[in-house]
Copies of this chain bind each other. A is one copy, B any other.
Amino acid sequence: MWSEPSPAECFVERRRRLATRLHGPCVLGSGIARVRNFEGNRFAFRAESHFLYFVGRHIEEALLVFDAGTVTLFVEPPDPDDALWHGPEPSLEELAEQLQLDVRPIDEFSVPQGAATLPPGDVESSLWLEEVLGRAVEAGNVAANELDVELARVMVEVRLRHDSAALNQMSQAAAVTARAHRSGMVATRPGRREAQVRAAIEAEMTACGMIPAYNSIVTVHGEVLHHGSSTHLMNAGDLLLVDAGAESAEGWASDVTRTWPVSGKYSGVQAEVYDAVLASQLAAIAMCRPGVRFRDVHRRAAEVLVSGLCEIGLLRGSPSSLLERGAGSVFFPHGIGHLLGLDVHDMEDLGDLAGYAPGRQRSDEPAERYLRLDRDLEPGMVVTIEPGFYRIGHLLGGPPFAAIADAVDGDKLAALSHVRGIRIEDDVLITEDGHHVLSADVPKQRADVEAAIAG
C-alpha cells in the first residue's frame, strides 16, 4: 500500500484561496530539522504545517511568500557538497515546474513591508524566521503579534474545512492505521511485551511510507491518558490500550484508539465497560452533522457513558444528577475529541483560535477544561470522537471522587481492577448531510476485535 502525492493543482488552489483572503503580505517558514543528541544527528525534518498545506513537501529553510497577489517560494539552491551526503536536489527550475510556483534562491528574499507570519513551535526554527524577517517571532506564541493573530484567523478559515486532496490523504492515513492496528492485534499475546505490539503497528506505517503522527501509546496502563513507554509485559487478564495513527508523507494525520484484551477475549466485566464506552462513542458519532455544537457532542457522550455505568451497576442514581455532581470527569476526565488535519490536534499551534469559535472560550470546569474543540460542526471538518473510561488511582482518592463516592458501588469498582482504562477513538468527517467515519476499517465491535486478534 503506497500513496501517491497530491496533484500540484490542489496546492495551486490552496494558495489561491489564501491569497484572496489576505489583507496584507505574509511569509510562511518551513523551519529547521530538530537536533537529536548533536548537531549532525537530527530527527527527520517535518515542515511546519502552515507551509506544508500550500507546498506539500518538507523543504528545509524555505519561505513561502504571499505579497500583492503573487506567491513565491524561496529556497536554498542545491549545494554540490551537500549532494555527496544527501543526494542530488532538483534545480530551482525543476522545482518550479513540479510545484507550479515561482521559485527563487533564498538570498533574493526581501521582507515585504508589514508581513505577517505564524511562529513555529520549535525555538531554533523561530529564531531562524526572526532573523529572516528582522522582527520578533516568539516560538509557539502567535498571540505575541496582532498582525500574526489576524493571519492566524484567516488560516483557520482556509484550513478548517478539508478539500478533496486533504481528505484523500487522511483516508489513506486512516487505511494504513487500520492495517497497523490489525497487525498490532495479531501480535498481541500474554507473555509478550507491549513493545512487540508497538513494533508491529509502527512497522505497517513505515512499510507504507508513513510515520507515526504522534508518539504511539501502547500500554496495559490505559488509565494513564498519554502513557509514553511500552516496556511492560502483557498478562492474560490485561487490556491493552493502543492510541496510534499514521501520518502520510505529505503530513496528514490519523488518530485512532482501540482497547483490546491481551488474552484475545474480553472478560465479563471488561466487556460490560467496553460496551458502555462504545455506546457513548456511537451516540457521539451519531450526532455529528453540520450545525451541531461540539460541546453538545461532548456532553452527550458523558451522559451516555454515565448511564451505561449505572446500568452495569458501578453507579447508582439518576445519570443527570450524577453528571451534575461530576461523575463524568471522574471516570472520563478529558474531552470527547479535537480537530484533525495536518496536525493531530489540528492548528493547536494557534492556541484555541482554531478549536474555539469566535466568542467561545474554554471552560474551567473539570468536565470541560480539556475539551479542545467547541465549534458548530461544518462540512469538511474532520474531528476525533474518543470517549473513555478510566479507573485512575489518584482521582479515586481526591475530592472529585468524594463528591460522588456514595453513588459508587465499591464491590463493582474493585471488580474493575483489570479495566484500568478503555478508550475508543475514530476519525469522523463531517459531510453535507451527516458524517463519514474515515477509520471505519479498524475493528471496533468486540466480536470483530476478538476475531482480528485470533488472526
Using a CB–CB cutoff of 8 Å, the interface residues on chain A facing chain B are 2, 34-44, 46, 48-49, 80, 83-88, 120-124, 127, 139-140, 193, 195-196, 198-200, 202-209, 214-215, 221, 224-228, 230-231, 249, 251, 333, 342-345, 348-349, 392-395
Contact = CB atoms under 8 A, between A and B. Distances in A.
Contacts of A123: 35, 122-124, 127
Contact of A87 (B46, B215, B224): B224
A122 B34 contact: yes
Given A44-B215, A199-B204, A224 B38 contact: no
A84 B39 contact: no
A207 B214 contact: no
A394 B83 contact: yes
Contacts of A204: 199
A225 B345 contact: no
Contacts of A122: 34-35, 123-124
Nearest to A128: B123
A86 B43 contact: no
Given A37-B342, A43-B34, A46-B37, A196 B207 contact: yes
B195 A86 contact: no
B215 A206 contact: no
A331 B227 CA distance: 48
Contacts of A36: 34, 43, 46, 214
Contact of A209 (B35, B226, B231, B392): B231
Contacts of A394: 80, 83-84, 88
A345 B86 contact: no
A320 to B, nearest CB: 25
B124 A38 contact: no
Contacts of A39: 121, 140, 348-349
A43 B207 CA distance: 20
Contacts of A202: 199, 202-203, 206
A195 B199 contact: no
B395 A84 contact: yes
A200 B226 CA distance: 26
A344 B40 CA distance: 10
Contacts of A395: 84
Contacts of A34: 34-36, 43, 122
Contacts of A196: 207
Nearest to A210: B195
A198 B193 contact: no
Contacts of A227: 86-87
Contacts of A38: 49, 121, 140, 343, 345, 348-349
A68 B6 CA distance: 61
17 contacts: A34-B35, A37-B48, A37-B49, A37-B349, A39-B349, A41-B345, A43-B215, A44-B228, A84-B225, A84-B333, A123-B123, A123-B127, A124-B139, A199-B202, A199-B206, A202-B203, A203-B203
Most chain B CB atoms below 10 A, which of A205, A209, A214: A209
A195 B208 contact: yes
Contact of A228 (B86, B120, B392): B86
Most chain B CB atoms below 10 A, which of A40, A88, A202, A343: A40
B43 A43 contact: yes
Nearest to A249: B231
A2 B83 CA distance: 39
A247 to B, nearest CB: 9
